[in-house]
Structure 1
């Protein structure tokens, strides 16, 4: 099973160096609290995350959180909510029948969200976390901060932001 990274921008646009701004643009993280999904084995992704580590946090998303994310924050072009009927209609050629099937296909690496851009929007606009962040938004996750790689704990943050 391929690992799927959920990448969230947790810092705003002020004082971002041009090279980091370019990386954030490539990752489609234009604004604070935007979330994108990419397979962990995507070529060049590790270098991009390393470059943007002071503006984003990321980790492996699990199936339950991914299904919940797609149901609550998933959008289709035009801004309408993602529904089971829409997924069944538009993704039938890939053998996907509902949102849970889409989540499985994404986790297994059969579908790439950024390649389905004209069917499902690849960026999820999240709320700020309920109850606030647990640490500083200027320190790495390892030293009681919020930035950088956080592994499975990304799911807890996503739950607070839904």
Structure 2
């Protein structure tokens, strides 16, 4: 029998269907990857523009502040600094001999461990809470550099009760994208300026776990900062402390 007259062998119908399905799935995955790549490229452009815009806003605000100070000095007037909108609060003492009320306040502030730090919006309620835990914490106004370093070095997100590192902007976009927050720079800007979505952005961040400061504390945790100790309000000096602990 010649080769041309040989019986042809056909593949089973199930094999042909599987091949078709596999080919469709491969094509679909390729299309999804292409769409994802395109979306990421567009998002990167938006993030870059926002970061540039935030930088320009910070520079303009700093220049306006310097100009106002110079004008007040030149005219012989006093320049009154703006009231702080956000404090960075660090817990520096344990729970030994701690009354129930301060312990509860520390829980509400999410300061569950020594060297934990959180951002707190400054208002009447938060000031009253800080007054109750004054012997156990220190706080002040964090500048833009400190906020940025905290998020990039120690920033973790709280997603479904899990502590997730901020390794990708998609973590932020998936949780806060509906609020217009899609990247780390958005979170930094929202926290530093105490923006309209400060509450959501702050709740999204896991409390910062800092280290003991280089060189240690002054050793006077029973005294207030203005008395040469470590606790209580320390204004701009909180930035130097955070850098030692970051």
List gaps (5 residues or longer) in structure 1. none
Distance change >3 Å, CA 135–CA 144, structure 1 → 2: farther
Residues 3/116 of structure 1: CA separation in 2 closer, same or farther (3 Å cut): closer
Report the structure, 1 or 2, having the larger helix content: 2
Instruction: Find the aligned partners of 1:74 and 1:65 in 2 and give their Cα distance.
Output: 12
Query: 77, 84, 92: which one pairs with 1:10?
Result: 92
Would the alpha carbon gap of residues 65 and 113 (structure 1) be closer, same or farther in structure 2, given more than 3 Å must change? farther
The answer to whether the 8 A contact 2:172-2:181 is kept is yes
| Contact 1:84/1:97 (<8 A) preserved | no
What displacement does 1:100 show? 2.2
The equivalent position to 1:139 in structure 2, one of 223, 229, 234, is 223
Superposition pairs of residues 52-63 of structure 1, within 5 angstroms: 52-63=133-144
Change beyond 3 A, Cα 1:115–1:69: closer
Q: CA RMSD, aligned part only?
A: 2.0
2:203 corresponds to 1:99: no
- 1:54 partner SS: helix
Matches within 5 A, 1:36-51: 36-41=118-123, 43-51=124-132
TM-score normalised by L of structure 2: 0.59
Moved over 6 A (4+): none
Displacement of 1:39 in angstroms is: 1.1
Shift of 1:84: 4.8
Q: Of the two structures, which has the highest relative contact order with CA contacts closer than 8 Å and spacing of 6 or more?
A: 1
SS of residue in 2 equivalent to 1:139: coil
Partner of 2:43: none
Q: Select between 143-152 and 96-105 the one with higher mean Cα deviation.
A: 96-105
User: Shift in Å at residue 23 of structure 1?
Assistant: 1.3
Alignment of 1:74-89 (within 5 A): 74-77=155-158, 78-85=162-169, 86-89=171-174
Where structure 2 has 5 or more consecutive residues not aligned to the other structure, the ranges are 1-81
What corresponds to 1:112 in structure 2? 198
Bigger Cα Rg = 2
Deviation at 1:98, TM superposition (A): 2.5
Tell whether 2:114 aligns with 1:28. no
Distance 2:214 2:147 in 1: 18
Give the secondary-structure state (helix, strand or coil) at the position aligned to 1:132.
Answer: coil
